[in-house]
Amino acid sequence: MLKAHQGAEVDIIDRLPTPFGLVRSGVAPDHPETKIVTNQFSRVPQNERCSFFGNVSIGSSVSLSELREMYHVVVLAYGAESDRILGIPGEDLAGTHSAREFVWWYNGHPDCRNLAPDLKSTDTAVILGQGNVALDVARILLRPTMELATTDISSHALGALEESRIRKVYLVGRRGPVQAACTAKELREVLGIKDLYIHIQEADLLKTPTDEEELKNSRIQRRVYELLSKAAVSGHSHPSSGQRELHFVFFRKPDRFIDSDDRSGHIAGVRVEKTMLKESAGAGKQIAVGTGQFEDLECGLVLKSIGYKSIPVDGLPFDHHKGIVPNARGRVLSNTSDLTQLEEGLYVCGWLKRGPTGIIATNLYCAEETIASINEDIEKGVLASTSNMPKPGREGLLQLLETIHRTENYCSKDERIVLFGDGHHEMTRKEHIQYLKQWMTSEERLKNLNKLSDLAVKHYNEKSNSKYEFVKFVKATVLPHRGFLYHITFEAKEKDAVDGQSITFQAKVYDGRKLWDTEPDRFLDSDDRSGHVADVLFEKTMLKVTPTLCGKAN
């Protein structure tokens, strides 16, 4: 958008204080090369027409209709943050989690920081699903922690994994090795874990003619099948004592979760039903059907990796069957079945548009398609009715978020948050506000606020081609709603002014990177660990300074 429209201003809103979505909270910590893409993303808000607003949630901080009133174009890209469910008995027993929660936990996502999966009272975990997310989860459970320690895994997860008793992991799939939904790279990685015993039933590798045809049509499936076949015959027939084990369990579907006798309400195993493939649908479409034969897999931990699910916000058309926002090349449709009924100015992108599949690069093409639709609509004048009228945009959003109502809303939430700045603090939101107030008055901080004011003057000079110099800091408030917006009042005077009178300035300084998270080093470089927030503000690109001249001091 920024490239295509030189006049456009773009505000990125995220419910978390940090940007990058699943690249940060999904991609596995031992895949740092994948996360390099964040360097590219970070360049976007360096554009002075772009801002990042963290801690602003669509649906609670701001409604969709409010956003649509404030902006000419709204693009929804809030992903898929819920889970598909199996709908079988015992799904809520303690010791069962979705893979999403587990992944968020090891990646330090604030929502799952306190998940505390029990890795101590059992030596066996069952992972339901055999896609790449399932393989990520298996790898994190089985990989030597010494290797994980060199990654950016969250420290709470590393500590728990170091003490983990999990030795045996079952990866359960409804269909066979020909249909395994993972890719070769991820499979090779898990098969290559140091000193890991791999078990695959050789009988499961037998292929039907339909399987053969399926393999002929897909190079990825061929590679996966070859890797599994090789793993089935290489290695020892039994694990050595204490060796970690990974069991690929094909042709099994979960039937129920089994409650423990001695720890009521806690998982003790999964009853699975053997399946066979119904070939009638043809190659690539074979489905698994139950055979009526059951067996139990004993375990104390279950991670369900059966897919993510998007959730609608108020006022958003939603296709509940497909779990996506109905759209035509990114244009939101008012109603699933009618391609002509469009929601003016409303677009969608990413997993919310296509469903929870595809890698990071897939979203790039997806975004290009949505942007092309926006461009076409602008050119065709579809948005003309609104674009000729100014809309409040960023200022409107800031005003809205500043209202007392929103602040109260913020205070009333009792959830705990983790704040970084001066070391590590965990606190409720109320305590957080208190903390921010104190933070603002400490001497050390005042020094930094002086620097911040000085920076604001320089920005103002650059923008307005004037020559003010900072005189003194007056006061500052932090908008607790997001924790990142500073309203600073300070005095400055014109450099060569004869009367030398000071003028009061107010600057809004927005920092999208100050973290409320457990892992500041996850995407900030070492300079940021100093704990001096103002220094971070100086160095970080997401800093926004909007100084406004507001009158002469007395």
Q: Give the CB-side neighbour count of residue 427, counting CA atoms within 13 A.
A: 15
Footprint of ligand FAD (CB under 6 A): 13-16, 21-23, 26-27, 31, 34, 57-59, 77-79, 81, 103, 133, 136, 350-351, 358-360, 363
Tell the smallest beta-carbon distance from residue 357 to ligand FAD (Å): 8
DSSP letters, 131-160, are SHHHHHHHHHHHS-HHHHTTTT--HHHHHH
Nearest to 93 by CA among 259, 255, 307, 333: 259
Query: Which of residues 244 and 354 has its CB atom nearest to ligand FAD in the complex?
Result: 354
With CA atoms as reference, report the closest residue to 72 among 287, 344, 272: 344
- Which residue, 133 or 374, is less far from ligand FAD as judged by CB? 133
CB of 531 to ligand FAD, least distance (A): 25
Residue 523 in contact with residue 17, Cβ under 8 Å? no
Instruction: Tell me how far apart the alpha carbons of residues 216 and 213 are, in angstroms, rounded to a whole number.
Output: 5
Cβ-based nearer residue to ligand FAD, 14 or 377: 14
CB of 524 to ligand FAD, least distance (A): 17
In the complex with ligand FAD, which residue's Cβ is closer, 13 or 272? 13
What's the token pair of residue 144? 């030597």
Name the nearest CA neighbour of 346 among 14, 77, 104.
77
Which residue number, 127 or 133, has a Cβ lying nearer to ligand FAD?
A: 133
> Least CB distance from residue 319 to ligand FAD, whole Å?
16
Q: How far is the CB of 111 from ligand FAD (least distance, A)?
A: 9
- Rounded CA separation 215/226 (Å): 10
Among 310, 393, 410, residue whose Cα is nearest residue 66: 393
Complex with ligand FAD: residue 277 or 346, whichever CB lies closer: 346
Longest dimension (CA), the chain: 94
Exposed/middle/buried for 409, CB within 10 Å: 0-12, 13-18, 19+?
Answer: middle
Shortest distance in whole angstroms from residue 19 CB to ligand FAD: 7
Report the residue number, 188 or 458, with the smaller CB distance to ligand FAD.
188
Closest-CA residue to 540 (of 520, 478, 481): 520
Nearer to ligand FAD, 303 or 455 (CB): 303
Q: What is the nearest approach in angstroms of ligand FAD to the Cβ of residue 349?
A: 7
- For residues 37 and 436, which CB has a smaller minimum distance to ligand FAD in the complex? 37
Rg (CA), the chain: 27
Nearest approach, Cβ of residue 415 and ligand FAD (Å): 15
> Which candidate, 484, 472, 542, 540, places its Cα nearest to that of 508?
484
Beta carbon nearer to ligand FAD, 227 or 258? 227
Q: Least distance in Å: CB of 529 to ligand FAD?
A: 23
Q: Tell me the closest approach of the beta carbon of residue 23 to ligand FAD, in angstroms.
A: 6
Burial of 240 by CB count in 10 Å (0-12 exposed, 13-18 middle, 19+ buried)? exposed
290 vs 312, beta carbon nearer ligand FAD = 312
Least distance (Å) between residue 26 CB and ligand FAD:
3
| Angstrom distances, CA of residue 143 to CA of 23, 157, 431 | 21, 13, 38
Long-range contacts: 389-397, Cβ < 8 Å, 24+? Answer: 391/69, 391/70, 391/71, 391/72, 392/70, 393/9, 393/11, 393/70, 393/71, 394/9, 394/11, 394/51, 396/69, 396/70, 397/11, 397/13, 397/53, 397/56, 397/62, 397/67, 397/70
